[in-house]
Amino acid sequence: MMNRRPPGLFAIIVCFCSTLLGWASILQRLHAQSPQNLIDEQVPAALHIRDAYLTSQPVPSQRRLHIVYWTPNDREPIDGYQERLSRVMLDIREFYRTEMNRMGFGNRAFDLDLESDEQVRIHLVKGNGPYARYNVESGSKIRRECLPVLEAAGFDANKETIVIFCNMSNWDPVAKTMSQNSPYYATGGLRNGTAWQVDSALLDSSLLDQTEPKITDGQYGKISVGRYNSIFVGGVCHELGHALGLPHDKERPDEARAFGTSLMGSGNRTYGEDRRNEGRGSALTLADGLRLAAHPLFTHNEKGIDLPASAKIQKIDIEVNKDKKSFTLRGNVVADPPAYAILGYLDPTGGSDYDATTTTAIPDENGNFVLPCRPSHQPGSAALRIVVCQSNGGRINDQSLSLPYTLNAEGHVDLENYLSLLKLDDVIDAVRNQQADAAAEALSKLERILNGKTEIPPLLEVARSLVRSMKPPPQKALMLHDEDKIWLSDTQPSQAKVGWMQPMADRLPNDSLVLSLGGQLFAHGLYAHAPSNYTYALKGQWKRLTGNAGLADGHDGTCVFVLRGDGKELWRSEKTTQGQSIPFDIALNGIDRLELIVEDAGDGNGADWGIWTDVQIQR
């Protein structure tokens, strides 16, 4: 056996340096993927685009965030409300300022209407009725009661962002119990916004660091007064985010490790917990920061505020990466005012967007962008929702920019549903623009491409239904049909009404058009935005009804689906959220009158795009 000499010092050094270089390369790749590295790379590029627009003929803005205290007419304001709520709002302003600064957007936050450095101007409004006449769903009524007071103060609430604290809590200082029956939500964007909050004797940011005393809250159980304020001061901060136009989103695993819990996810319950050493606290995601970066309350510049949002994404190319657990979307954006950021929300079905993680890209000088997508959610159907941020603060986020995908049990990405939609793109575009000749030509082309091929979903059937929907043939009532089995959408209901726009068969009324439920495309079905009712006269001639019910993909409302025969309930779904496809198979023996009903699940009908798919009736 050959004797080997021990390695010399030079060889040892070379080996050691090679190891170091190897680790340096690995660390460099890890650093390149870190959230801070992404911030350092993207924020200056986004600000360069935004500032080029805003600094040319700027329109200085004096906008402020306005605070209202509303109380029922049988209640006096809670003692000390102005001092407490001033502390709360100043604390929240500092949170936004700190987070925007951390991400490199500068020392930016909204301005408050101040009476002094530590005192926020709060407009007091006495309600028209007693406490018993108001509840969680009374937001619109309360806002209307506030408008005259705000108008008298010299501003139009329809052109401003306002926060309404409602005196709708119930505190027992002896039993140390708390409950509330207040509106607690928000809506808003570029031009205006409203956030409804609940005030209480314990709502005070100065108590965020307190682990004692313990109280019992009607919703959250026994918690410390500090935890109570994490939830409810955090709730104010979160709902204000909605009033500024922020949607729900969840922190990615790398963001959680680096910064904490997303404010617009479950961060409304972790706000300030770092002050009690109970966690990392709440943070804004980079996507949140990019959305706020052009809001007039943060830029103090109203240039283009009244321009309509107008952006178009084109030349989309999407592919699954080699690891099969991620995918990349490339495209080009055309926008005026210019687009400074492209945001992607990787949103699994259900969860009301709270579990949607984000990805971001900055377009180059030609509008080209690359959006890396690495889902971190559980297996199942999902959608990549794309938002374009324009330099005047406008945003485009319509449903036509929602790309469906699924994750299998191994976490591998499947883009089949999206690729199917791509094949329908020319048909959808022609139908959307009511171009009959172009639709017929696109359908003919698709028929040639798919000649003899078996496609799941059946694309030709979907395409034919869409084209037919442009000029549907006259429909007959069920009792005039002699078939043994028929799609319900091919028949004429005796009554039809929906909660938004008009009843529609075999398509949706918006730009997306296609009936998509639980990641699957359907050629036959009924659009049924809650509250809706489709009624059919059966005359006892039909025996069975089958199909599926759910919310159209890309809509995060909640619905309940009901089938009723001769006034009697035959079937009722549970409360249904996005991504759930609920099958039904119902006997109809002897029934004369059939109703397909969609209810709003008791929480309003926003985004309640109910649909009935593949509904078939048999003799």
Q: Write down the architecture of domain 478-618 according to CATH.
A: Sandwich (2.60)
pLDDT reading at 142 higher than 70: yes
Quote the mean pLDDT of the chain: 89
Q: What confidence score (pLDDT) does residue 23 get?
A: 36
Hey, what are 239's tokens?
């709902």
Q: What confidence score (pLDDT) does residue 34 get?
A: 87
**583-607 pLDDT per residue, tens:** 999 999 999 999 999 999 887 788 8
Residues linked to residue 384 through DSSP beta bridges, in sequence order: 346, 403
Q: What confidence score (pLDDT) does residue 474 get?
A: 82
Q: What is the mean pLDDT of residues 198-219?
A: 96
**69-128 pLDDT per residue, tens:** 999 999 999 999 999 999 999 999 999 999 999 999 999 999 999 998 889 999 999 999
Q: What confidence score (pLDDT) does residue 10 get?
A: 39
pLDDT reading at 54 higher than 90: yes
- pLDDT-derived band at 404 (thresholds 50, 70, 90) equals confident
pLDDT reading at 22 higher than 70: no
- pLDDT-derived band at 558 (thresholds 50, 70, 90) equals confident
Q: What is the mean pLDDT of residues 485-495?
A: 94
- pLDDT-derived band at 314 (thresholds 50, 70, 90) equals confident
Q: What confidence score (pLDDT) does residue 350 get?
A: 66
The DSSP output letter for 351 is G
**Quick check: 419 and 457 in contact, CB under 8 A?**
no
* Interacting residues of 498 by C-beta distance below 8 A, sequence separation 6+: 504, 527, 528, 529, 532
**Quick check: 294 and 389 in contact, CB under 8 A?**
yes
Distance CA 593, CA 589 (A): 11
**Quick check: 594 and 536 in contact, CB under 8 A?**
yes
Q: What confidence score (pLDDT) does residue 19 get?
A: 40
Q: What confidence score (pLDDT) does residue 28 get?
A: 41
* CATH number for the domain formed by residue range(s) 60-298: 3.40.390
Q: What is the mean pLDDT of residues 416-439?
A: 87
What is the percentage of the chain residues whose pLDDT exceeds 70?
A: 92
- Quick check: helix, strand or coil at residue 363? coil
Distance CA 610, CA 526 (A): 9
Residue of 235, 155, 156 lying closest to 196 (CA atoms): 235
- Quick check: helix, strand or coil at residue 498? coil
* Three-class DSSP labels, 51-115: HHHHCCCCCECCCCEEEEEEECCCCCCCCCHHHHHHHHHHHHHHHHHHHHHHCCCCCCCCCECEE
* CA atoms within a 13 Å half-sphere pointing along the CA-CB vector of 119: 6
Q: What order of strands is seen across the sheet that includes strand 368-373?
A: 311-320, 327-335, 368-373
pLDDT reading at 530 higher than 80: yes
pLDDT reading at 568 higher than 70: yes
**Quick check: 307 and 392 in contact, CB under 8 A?**
yes
Residue of 302, 112, 288, 100 lying closest to 190 (CA atoms): 302
Residue predicted with more confidence, 187 or 175:
175
* For the chain, domain boundaries: 60-298, 311-413, 425-470, 478-618
Q: What confidence score (pLDDT) does residue 13 get?
A: 40
Q: Write down the architecture of domain 311-413 according to CATH.
A: Sandwich (2.60)
**Quick check: 554 and 385 in contact, CB under 8 A?**
yes
